[in-house]
Each structure stands twice: as structure tokens, then as C-alpha cells.
Amino acid sequence: MKRARIIYNPTSGREAFKKELPAVLERFEIAGYETSTHATTCEGDAIEAAKTAVERGYDLVVAAGGDGTINEVINGIAEKDFRPRLGIIPVGTTNDFARALFIPRNISNAVDIILNDQSMPLDIGKVNDHYFINIAGGGKLTELTYEVPSKLKTMLGQLAYYMKGIEMLPSLKPTSVRIEYDDEVLEDDIMLFLISNTNSIGGFEKLAPTAKLDDGYFDVIILKKTNLAEFIRIATLALRGAHLDHKNVIYTKAKHIKVETSEKMQLNIDGEFGGLLPGEFKNLKQHVEIFVPDEFVEKNDEAE
């Protein structure tokens, strides 16, 4: 019999998953899975729970929560030689990764996708000792992701970032960096850099429009030194994906990137503080097998 481990964050979103858990378990049982659950208790717990699930030989691990929970579960399984297939039930406040995979927020529909049994090996990123699913980056403005409270994000979406961004504008300063990306080197003053695995970032769906989840490449966006007026202009262009041709924006694809800075610069990993730079970023091509709906497969084929 196939065995599934469901790792869920009971505090995620509006605690909706707990109520539906019996119905979810029943559906897995009917589909022929022997199922067990783990409710996460604190930060980092989903990493340990996922590691244990791999050691116990589960065929399938399901992560139910927001991006934070999915990030932790992937950090738990990514190091292992045998990696179980991963199902995602997006019940968090931010579900950028699930959105990029076209996994619906409705719990029952997300379960349908897992039980439909269509999975694809997808890329994940590694920076220093951490794995990431959506994006890593540096520069003062990337701190927005943890400065904006989740409640505000839920209510206002993109607007919440703008409001907080305006507040932070006076403190935006360029940093001198050395960025090696594949065979190129950039030594310059920059405002921020983003290394993206998916194209769905904090509600900015067109930030990295050509990001593809199984090509082994990151989309790299570097914003060179700008004045405040230019900065606001580029942020406005980014709303409709028109920022990429701007003279101060470098947009490229790379598999392997090294970033060194002369001053202190924070590293942001999937919207959380990830220590200080330097950082070495590697794209782990098709490293985790994830259940996806037809819509994702179709859109991904079109993007070839």
C-alpha cells in the first residue's frame, strides 16, 4: 500500500485546513493511501517532519500551508538521495509557489490534483545551506517582504508593498557588489538583485516573465544604481512587466551566481531573512517531483 504523510501548519491562513482534515484523509484513504499527519508546532518543525517522513520511506509528502511551510518541507527533503513526491495544498496567506503551479486555493480541488497523480520534476534553488522555491535576493527593498504584515498582504495584495515601499524610499541606497553569473561578472553599484525560480513573486506576476520551473535556470534581475525618481518609475513599470528594457535593469538567465558585497547586505530567501551575503546560488534542475495540474503542464509546454 502507498503511504502518504501530510505535514500541515495548523496556524496557516485562517486555520481552514484543520476543519477539512477528516475529509482530506478520507479522500486519500479511498484513493488507496495509508495516511498519517503531522501538525507543525513552530518555525523549522516542518523541516524536521519532512526529513523524518523521508527516513520512514513515505511515497508521498503533502505540504499544507503557505509558502513558509512549503519552503520548510522542501528544505527537509532536498538533501536526501531518495526524495518522495510532493503534493501541495495552499492554505497560507502567501501562496506564490502554488500560484506559479496553478494549484487552486480550494482544498478539495488541490487534493484532486494530488490524487490525479500527475507529477513533474521541478527546479529549486540553493543558496549557501538553504533551499528556496520562489526567490532569493538582496538590497534594502527586498526587506519589504518581511516588513509588510501578512494581514495587510491578504487585504491589499500588491498595494501593501507599495505603501511600505514608499515609507522605505528615503533609506534606499546603492551597494557596491561583485556578481558572477555563469560566465559574466558585474562590478557595480546596485539597488537590489533578485534571483527567481518562479514568475509569481509577491503578487507581481510579470516581474520575471520568462521564468520556467524546469529549465535549470534562474531569472536574474539586477537593478543598478538609480535616483529616487527613476526608482519609482521602474517600480511602476514593473507592475505591467515593462521594466525589463529599462537601461538600469539587467535581466538575464543563469544557473550559478555568486554575489559579494563590500558593505553588509541582507539575504532574503523566499521572503524571510536568510543571513548576510556573500551568497552562492545554484539552480538544482528538476530536483523535486511535484504534483501539478494540466494547466501548468500546458502553459509550461507553451513556454518552451
Ligand X SMILES: Nc1ncnc2c1ncn2[C@@H]1O[C@H](COP(=O)(O)OP(=O)(O)OP(=O)(O)O)[C@@H](O)[C@H]1O
d(CA 278, CA 284): 19
Q: Which of 48, 147, 180, 272 is catalytic?
A: 272
CA 129, chain centre distance (Å): 16
Q: Which residues contact 250 (CB under 8 A, 6 or more apart)?
A: 186, 220, 221, 222, 224
Q: Is 52 a residue that touches ligand X (CB under 6 A)?
A: no
Active site residue 280: no
d(CA 145, CA 141): 8
Is 40 or 199 the residue whose CB approaches ligand X more closely? Answer: 40
Alpha-carbon Rg for the chain in angstroms: 19
Q: How far is the CB of 26 from ligand X (least distance, A)?
A: 23
Binding to ligand X by CB under 6 A, coded x per residue (else -) over 82-101, reads ----------xxx-------
Q: Is 300 a residue that touches ligand X (CB under 6 A)?
A: no
Q: How far is the CB of 63 from ligand X (least distance, A)?
A: 8
Q: Is 72 a residue that touches ligand X (CB under 6 A)?
A: yes
CA 211, chain centre distance (Å): 12
Q: Is 9 a residue that touches ligand X (CB under 6 A)?
A: yes
Question: Of the candidates 6, 7, 27, 40, which one interacts with ligand X according to CB under 6 A?
Answer: 40
Is 106 or 116 the residue whose CB approaches ligand X more closely? Answer: 106
Query: 268 pairs with which residues across the strands?
Result: 137, 273
Q: Is 143 a residue that touches ligand X (CB under 6 A)?
A: no
If you search the block for the grid coordinates 507529477, which residue do you land on? 119
Q: How far is it between the farthest Cα atoms of the chain?
A: 61
Q: Is 274 a residue that touches ligand X (CB under 6 A)?
A: no
Catalytic site residues? 272
